[in-house]
Structure 1
Amino acid sequence: MKQHVIIFAHPNNNSFTKALVDEVVKSSEQFGANTVVRNLYAMNFNPVLSQEEMQGAWQGIIPEEVLYEQKLIQQADLITLVYPVWWMGFPAMLKGYLDRVFTHGFAYQSSEQGSVGLLQGKKIQQFINIGNNVEAYQAKGFAQALDVCLVNGLFNYCGITDIDHQLFGDLYVISDQERKNMLTQVGEKTLQNLTAL
């Protein structure tokens, strides 16, 4: 059975971002994947990486809650991230999750020869909401910057090269039917990515 971990970062459980998560879950369960949702706000996940924890990671000392998340990531065939872009980046909750979970010795290893990603063979899909128009976002170079830094850059560094992402914009001005079309796209993309594993 395929393992699918969904990481959701939005404080509003009535948001369109949450509706995207629900659609991913529906398609994943329809496919028959073992589906686990990590709702970071509902979990009250502590996103703050302390100096003590950072130093401990280099010595293999990892808090239990982080070890649990790492185990889920390690077992996952497909990892889905669903989040809004705020101020050109991840919500702080998601950034902190990645800071704490994607540690040295788990996500990457460094030596005198350089760094090596340790999460090869994983597949990631990202569904990203922006308040702006997608075409305007692309024209200003923001979409490319997002891709280079957050979509591919970060995860490529950890050894993950099979990454798919979609931006959804104009959420405050589009029709209900257009939102439904976006949800359909997300469901179809999830089934497509699970089938390809």
Structure 2
Amino acid sequence: MKHLIIFAHPNSQSFNRTLVEEVIKATRQIGVEAVIRDLYTLDFNPVLSWSEWSATMDGIVPAEIKFEQKLIAEAELITFIYPLWWMGFPAILKGYLDRVLSYGFAYKNENGASVGLLGNKKVQHFITMGNSIEKYQQLAFDKALQSCLVEGLFSFCGITDIQHHLFGNIHLLDDSGYRSVLTAAFEKTQENLTALLSEKDKNSCKKKSN
């Protein structure tokens, strides 16, 4: 089983990077392979050109995008780790999704309607933010983020098992606060992976009994 971790933060010494390491540790501790895509270190080109978009409609996909799609196809759990900037993804992550979740891979049109093609995936987001969660809840921004940034995008691709976790006041936390965030990410990752492993074992037993 594979766990794909997609990380977007320009500072390799950021707390977000520490969060990535904690998720990797949680993954490897229960014997699951972790695959990490650090978009800034990879210098991923986030710009979807018109020529590329047009070509994907005919099934022509650049080799580097096919590679990213292969990693997504192979992963049972996909984790996104990123800071919330201007109520959205960092531009490099938005561009990654623009290019990788292309027609014919993430969705298709069928009988005049869009059909998601990635329904067998579980997705979790660990999102850091400078504001407090309480403030976002008061303004209903948390619901807007859930509807658009998280569920709206990924449910369009057929994914129904989507979780997101907001970690607020990220620049104001003390050591105990940072440790609490890391522990939450560690435990949630192991919980999701354990559920997937259990489901995989059940399906394997069913196949053997048939």
Q: TM-score range by the shorter chain?
A: over 0.9
Structure 1 position 66 matched with structure 2 position 73: no
Shift, 1:110, TM fit: 1.3
Shift, 1:83, TM fit: 0.4
Matching residue of 2:172: 173
State the distance in 2 between where 1:137 and 1:59 align: 42
Any idea what SS the aligned residue of 2:176 has? helix
Matching residue of 2:26: 27
Matching residue of 2:123: 124
State the distance in 2 between where 1:100 and 1:82 align: 18
1:64 partner letter: A
Unmatched tracts of structure 1, length 5 or more: none
Matching residue of 1:113: 112
TM-score, normalising length from structure 1? 0.98
State the distance in 1 between where 2:92 and 2:162 align: 21
State the distance in 2 between where 1:11 and 1:179 align: 19
State the distance in 2 between where 1:5 and 1:115 align: 25
Instruction: Tell me the alpha carbon deviations over residues 136-157 of structure 1, each in whole angstroms, 9 at most, x when there is no partner.
Output: 1111111111100011110000
State the distance in 2 between where 1:167 and 1:181 align: 13
Q: After TM superposition, which residue ranges in structure 1, 4 or more long, deviate above 2 angstroms? A: none
Matching residue of 1:51: 50
Identity %: 55
Instruction: Tell me the alpha carbon deviations over residues 13-67 of structure 1, each in whole angstroms, 9 at most, x when there is no partner.
Output: 1111111111000000111111100000000000000011000100000000000
Shift, 1:114, TM fit: 0.5
Matching residue of 2:78: 79
Any idea what SS the aligned residue of 2:41 has? coil
Any idea what SS the aligned residue of 2:114 has? strand
State the distance in 2 between where 1:35 and 1:179 align: 23
Matching residue of 1:137: 136
Matching residue of 2:208: none
1:11 partner letter: P
Unmatched tracts of structure 2, length 5 or more: 197-210
Report which of the two has the higher share of helix: 2
Matching residue of 1:192: 191
Greater CA deviation, 168-177 or 123-132? Answer: 168-177
Shift, 1:174, TM fit: 1.8
Please tell me the root mean square deviation across aligned C-alpha atoms, in Å: 0.7
TM-score, normalising length from structure 2? 0.92
Greater CA deviation, 149-158 or 110-119? Answer: 110-119
1:140 partner letter: L
Instruction: Tell me the alpha carbon deviations over residues 2-23 of structure 1, each in whole angstroms, 9 at most, x when there is no partner.
Output: 1100000000011111111110
State the distance in 2 between where 1:193 and 1:126 align: 12
Instruction: Tell me the alpha carbon deviations over residues 116-152 of structure 1, each in whole angstroms, 9 at most, x when there is no partner.
Output: 0000110001000111001111111111111000111
Structure 1 position 6 matched with structure 2 position 5: yes
**Number of corresponding residues:** 196
State the distance in 2 between where 1:9 and 1:186 align: 16
2:121 partner letter: K
